[in-house]
C-alpha cells in the first residue's frame, strides 16, 4: 500500500530560526513529489514539485530535497517568519494515470513560529 509519513507531527520554533521537515514515502511507481503549505482555514497551496531526476528545488526561503534511492524528501525553511506558521503536507504521485488515488497525501507537519 502506498504511504507517506511525515515528521515531526508538530514543531514550534522561534522567528528567524531555520527548520527542516521530513517526508518518507513508499509509493510506486514514483512520478513526482509536492510540498504544500496549508494555512489555517485555507486550502493547500503548492510550494514545490520535484521529479525523479531532481535533487533540490528552491522557492524563496523554502528548499526541498529529494533522495529517490532512500525515498525521502525534506523541506527546509530558512529564516522563519510568523507567516510560515501553517501545516506542510507532502504529496507523492504514483504516476500521471490511474485516477486520483494515484496521489498519496501525508498527514502534514504543523509548524508554529513564535515571536
Partner 1 sequence: GAGVSQSPRYKVAKRGQDVALRCDPISGHVSLFWYQQALGQGPEFLTYFQNEAQLDKSGLPSDRFFAERPEGSVSTLKIQRTQQEDSAVYLCASSLGFRGGPSYNEQFFGPGTRLTVL
Q: Which residues bind partner 1 (CB under 8 A)?
A: 4, 31-32, 36, 41-46, 49, 89, 93, 96-103, 105-108, 110
Residue closer to partner 1 by CB (options 61, 107) is 107
Measured on CA atoms in the order 48, 74, 105, 69, is the torsion positive or negative?
Answer: positive
Residue closer to partner 1 by CB (options 69, 101) is 101
Q: Tell me the closest approach of the beta carbon of residue 47 to partner 1, in angstroms.
A: 13
- Give the CA count within 13 Å in the CB-facing half-sphere of 80: 22
Q: Is 102 left (phi over 0), alpha (psi -120 to 50) or beta?
A: alpha
What is the distance of C-alpha 114 from the center of its chain? 21
C-alpha grid cell, residue 23 = 517526508
CA dihedral angle for residue 34, residue 57, residue 75, residue 54, rounded to 10 degrees: 70
Q: Tell me the closest approach of the beta carbon of residue 44 to partner 1, in angstroms.
A: 5
Residue closer to partner 1 by CB (options 34, 80) is 34
Residue closer to partner 1 by CB (options 41, 60) is 41
Q: Tell me the closest approach of the beta carbon of residue 16 to partner 1, in angstroms.
A: 27
Q: Tell me the closest approach of the beta carbon of residue 85 to partner 1, in angstroms.
A: 15
Amino acid at each position: 500500500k502506498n504511504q507517506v509519513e511525515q515528521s515531526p507531527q508538530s514543531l514550534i520554533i522561534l522567528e528567524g530560526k531555520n527548520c527542516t521537515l521530513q517526508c518518507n514515502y513508499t509509493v510506486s511507481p514514483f512520478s513526482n513529489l509536492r510540498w504544500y503549505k496549508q494555512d489555517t482555514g485555507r486550502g493547500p497551496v503548492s510550494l514545490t514539485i520535484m521529479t525523479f531526476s531532481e535533487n533540490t528545488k528552491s522557492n524563496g526561503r523554502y528548499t526541498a530535497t529529494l533522495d529517490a534511492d532512500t525515498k525521502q524528501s525534506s523541506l527546509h525553511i530558512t529564516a522563519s517568519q510568523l507567516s510560515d506558521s501553517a501545516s506542510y503536507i507532502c504529496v507523492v504521485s504514483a504516476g500521471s494515470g490511474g485516477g486520483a488515488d494515484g496521489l498519496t497525501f501525508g498527514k502534514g507537519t504543523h509548524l508554529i513560529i513564535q515571536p
